[in-house]
Structures are given as structure tokens and as C-alpha cells.
Structure 1
Amino acid sequence: MTDADGGVRGRRRGQGELEGEVLSTLRTAPGQASAAWVQEQLGGGLAYTTVMTILTRLLAKGAVTRERAGRSFVWLAASDEAGLAAMRMRRVLDGEADRGAVLASFVTALSPDDERVLRELLEEAGDDGTDS
């Protein structure tokens, strides 16, 4: 693909991929960061408005926080990429009427290794630290 100036455009990234890149970039910031800083760190290939859209989506998902700084905002990662994926999974689960069926289908599709990890995590979560 070429752009209007005859240069080669980069491949089009999906929304989830962009969110992950923006979140990863924010996590490398020495503190709160402006949208312009995020855009610069991503190499300038994204429009400022695209960066703002992604940051606003991440804010709605609880993956970032923001504070007013003058006439704009500064942003801070509130979650890592695993946390963002977990939020997506919860949102899908929350949108289904039969949560049990969704969870059962999810668990039966897991690889044996993933199932083992899930069992270990559930055991840890159920262990309240008391000897009974």
C-alpha cells in the first residue's frame, strides 16, 4: 500500500493491538504522560486523534487513569496487558445470559497446560490461609 505521497504505509493494526501498544508505551513512561508523548514514543505513525481515541477507550475500560494538566490531560497505566485482556474477557462474560455455559465452553477448550494453570489459580484463590 502507498500513501498520498507515494510512500509505503505500514500495515493496518487492529483495535486490540493498538490498545496494547499504547498501554505498553504508557507503562514505560517515567510518570504521567501526555497523549503527544505517547504518540511520539509510538514513532509518530499514528495521528494524535487516534492516540486520544485509544486512550479514551482504555479509560472507559479502566486500564488507564487521567488527570487534568492545564487544558489537556496526562495519562497513567492502571493495568498491564494481561489485565486488559482479563477486562475484555469479563466484558464478554458480562454480556452473556448463561454465564455458566460460557465458562464451561471456555474451560473445555483450554489446553491441558492452561487447564492446569487455571486449576492452580483457583486453588490459590480458594485458599484463605486457615488450617481447617
Structure 2
Amino acid sequence: MRDFGDLEAVIMDRVWDRDTEYTTVRDVFEQLCTERDIAYTTVMSTMDNLHRKGWLARERAGKAYRYWPTLTREEHSARRMLAALGSGGRSDLVFSYFVDRISAEESAGLRAALRRLSTERAPNVR
């Protein structure tokens, strides 16, 4: 999966922000046209591109398609973090620099997540 272009990122944000199971080109277009001058066909071709790249799944609904993301926003962010961790030199240093720059609240959340994962992965001991 390649990452997003500018308009793809805007559309993915709209898709992720929706509180429905799926969305349509019309739904996204109606949101975007209040903010920018954009053609329906541009939204349609961009969503088709996102489908071809594997970011959106779709099914036919009449003459149109229903779209939904193949990953959550958080899963996408985790993949980007893993890519940065793996391509930025020594991963231990990359991670150290990252942790050094996050807020105290983010650090506490990270520690809690690590504790939870550690507990989930630990073998059951009786």
C-alpha cells in the first residue's frame, strides 16, 4: 500500500470521520464542495484510486458504490510509525528520540498500552 496524495489524505480523513459503516462518493463530495471548488468526478476518480491502492473497499449499490476503509486511522498511523522506525537508522535511537518528544500525557498513554500488551502476551501462569 502506497501512502496518500494530498486529496487522497483529505478524502480518507472524511471517510474515517464518518460515523457510518460505509460512505458514497456523493457523501464525500457534498462535504468537500462546501470547503473547496471540486468536481464530483474528481472525488469519484480519487476514491476509485484509493480502492485500487487498497485503502478503500467497495461494493456496488445500484449504479454507485459504497466505500469503507480497509484500515482504521489508528492502524494506518501504526503502519506509518513502523515504516519510520524501520527506515530511519537505528530503531532504538529513532524510538528514543520519538519518546523524548511526546507529551507527558502521550507518554502515560504509551506506557499504559505497553503494560496492556505485555499482560495480553504473557502466558497464563497459575
Q: TM-score, normalization: structure 2?
A: 0.62
Q: CA deviation at 1:51?
A: 5.4
Q: Which residue of 1 is the match for residue 12 of structure 2?
A: 19
> Greater share of helix residues, 1 or 2?
2
Aligned-residue identity in percent: 23
1:97 shift after superposition: 4.3
State the Cα RMSD in Å. Answer: 3.3
Q: Distance in 1 between matches of 2:54 and 2:78?
A: 11
Q: Indicate yes or no: 2:116 matched with 1:121.
A: no
- Asked if the contact 1:32–1:75 (Cα under 8 Å) also holds between the matched residues in 2, the reply is yes
SS in 1 for 2:66: strand
Q: Which structure 1 residue ranges, 5 or more long, are not aligned? A: 1-13
CA distance in 1, matches of 2:101, 2:46: 34
Partner deviation per Cα, 1:21-59 (whole Å, 9 max, x = no partner): 2321xx333x43321232124445433314542563477
Match of 1:3 in 2: none
- Preserved CA contact (<8 Å) 1:61 1:87: no
1:114, distance to aligned residue in structure 2 (A):
1.5
Alpha-carbon deviation of 1:67?
2.7
Residue correspondence of structure 1 range 24-43 to structure 2 within 5 A: 24=17, 27-29=18-20, 31-43=21-33
Partners of 1:66 and 1:47 in 2: CA distance: 21
Superposition pairs of residues 1-132 of structure 1, within 5 angstroms: 15=7, 16-24=9-17, 27-29=18-20, 31-43=21-33, 45=36, 46-48=38-40, 49-50=42-43, 52-53=45-46, 56-57=49-50, 60=53, 62=55, 64-69=56-61, 73-128=65-120, 130-131=124-125
| Mapped partners of 2:76, 2:51: distance in 1 | 8
C-alpha distance in structure 1 between counterparts of 2:77 and 2:64, whole Å: 28
TM-score using structure 1 length: 0.60
Within 1, Cα distance between the matches of 2:57 and 2:106?
31
Distance 1:23 1:58, change over 3 A: farther
Pairs aligned (count): 115
Go from structure 1 to structure 2 and tell me whether the alpha carbon gap of 1:98 and 1:47 turns closer, same or farther (over 3 Å shift). farther
CA gap 1:114/1:59 in 2 versus in 1, 3 angstroms: farther
